[in-house]
Chain A
């Protein structure tokens, strides 16, 4: 493996600007890495599609423009991977589902348009749980992604592909989506960084909707600064998304470079710890708190009592919205159509056969659950009550942020578990998102960064920072300080401790 691909996106951007390396060389190095570690029996399988020709063409164009002395975006020529829930012209978009196998979107998501405007070569589309429903990528119709730290373990989900791609140096940056933790939890279990911006801070136009009031696109990277750089590329107002905020995405990179927490008040959420949290995860969390204290932050404990109901309310609101959003997969407008084997050939029966064949078990479970929660006689008790709990969670956040500048917790209760371990127990799987869900329920921004390796299994644990709505900059400010101190204590980035991946022969063709 060339050392080039181990650099951060910020460092790669500087090398491109200084013409130490060309965008074509850089893009090719990442394509080579994908060819070497992604395929095969024991490959990472982070990618569902590799976009070789277009990525190299964009890179060549960047090199040409730079040679002409053209003013370019800071990240021009820095390659990126895109979660396959986000639509792209020129590449298939599957959402990890058989129902969209081979489907090509006739339009680009707004975030993809922004990547193209910044001239960032798109390396390909990354694996995910079907329609982003899961915490392990095992619900992908195209097979699971493997965790680069241990190939028999899950890379988190739903954005396990994006996190694993960044963790295994297949891409310096990636896009994810986060409905209940799908950016942050994969970040935690792969030793990478992921950010869920304030709801509406990044356009959702072109992200295939799961739960519209919870979904958010955000950056996936190896460093806090890199996420800030990408966040500024993709953020800002979009008239194509009626829930998009009008605030500009500025000041995030500056906050990451500021690096100062002196005098800041940081609140430890009492409810996000204790029972169910792995000892090694809690130990690394305690280390991080000590570091922030020594950097001049004041650490206090705050209580958010209604967070205890967040998981339950989420599993009513999310399936309700998902059942409605997924009604459009009807075997008529796009994707798969399956005809019933016998009986009358009506559109209703075609719809039933198509959705039976095209959706996997977890998607069916959530559609049925959502249909139940929304049905007459149950609506008030389930969906209505869950929306009230949402108000209580927002009030808890308001009360907490009246006392402190940011909140802090472990990102996920455990390190990466074994592939297959929780596949037959939906409830156990849902518990992985217990600490990340409150942010989606209230729309507040959250960032996960690696806190170290758990003593009992040597696997990465994550720490989560939460800030008030529209105060995403605080996450980068605190995250960057903590990252610097942690890396000093480790003697380098945490991914330097990950085992080397076996590389296939260089001649292996990319998928």
Chain B
């Protein structure tokens, strides 16, 4: 399995929407390489015949009555937002201008 390098970390940070400085990328790449190295043996433990477990206690078809339940008002939902206007979240530009 491939080791994780600085370029990988830069790409992952972009995917995860976390801006990182050069120093941070250097440090993070070093630390993550050690961590990934220590967990990589996991891929060799279980054979193909072992099913995956996503959830400790399997439950299926957990449904509730089809009635309006606990809902927040618009004001409550916006109460913690950094910016709001006319009952909506207010955000900077969605698209970069050409």
Contacts and interface: CB of A to CB of B under 8 A. Distances in A.
B94 interface: yes
A239 B66 CA distance: 12
A401 interface: no
Contacts of A390: 52-53, 56
B18 A388 contact: no
A259 interface: no
Interface string A11-34: 000000000000000000000000
A328 to B, nearest CB: 11
Interface in B1-39: 1, 4, 8-9, 12-20, 24, 28, 31-32, 34-36, 38-39
B42 A368 contact: no
B92 interface: yes
A67 interface: no
A427 B55 contact: no
Chain B interface bracket (under 10, 10 to 19, 20 to 34, 35 or more) = 35 or more
Given A213-B54, A347-B94, A375 B12 contact: yes
Given A347-B94, A394-B56, A389 B72 contact: no
A13 B31 CA distance: 49
Contacts of B87: none
B68 interface: no
A106 B72 contact: yes
B50 A391 contact: yes
A243 interface: yes
Contacts, number: 181
A417 interface: no
Contacts of A372: 4, 8, 12, 32, 36
A222 to B, nearest CB: 29
B31 A334 contact: no
A369 interface: yes
Contact of A389 (B32, B45, B55, B94): B45
Interface residues of A, number: 74
Contacts of A394: 53, 56
Contact of A334 (B4, B45, B81): B81
A351 B36 CA distance: 27
B50 A381 contact: no
A260 interface: no
Nearest to B95: A346
Given A356-B20, A365-B32, A427-B38, A346 B80 contact: no
Interface of B: 1, 4, 8-9, 12-20, 24, 28, 31-32, 34-36, 38-39, 41-46, 50-57, 59, 62, 64, 69-70, 72, 76-77, 79-83, 89, 91-97
Task: Name the 4 nearest CB pairs between A and B, nearest first.
Answer: A443-B56, A388-B46, A337-B82, A387-B52
Given A239-B69, A339-B92, A356-B20, 9 more contacts: A240-B70, A242-B59, A334-B82, A350-B91, A368-B12, A369-B32, A387-B52, A391-B52, A442-B56
11 contacts: A243-B55, A243-B57, A344-B96, A347-B91, A365-B32, A369-B32, A371-B16, A372-B4, A382-B39, A384-B52, A385-B42
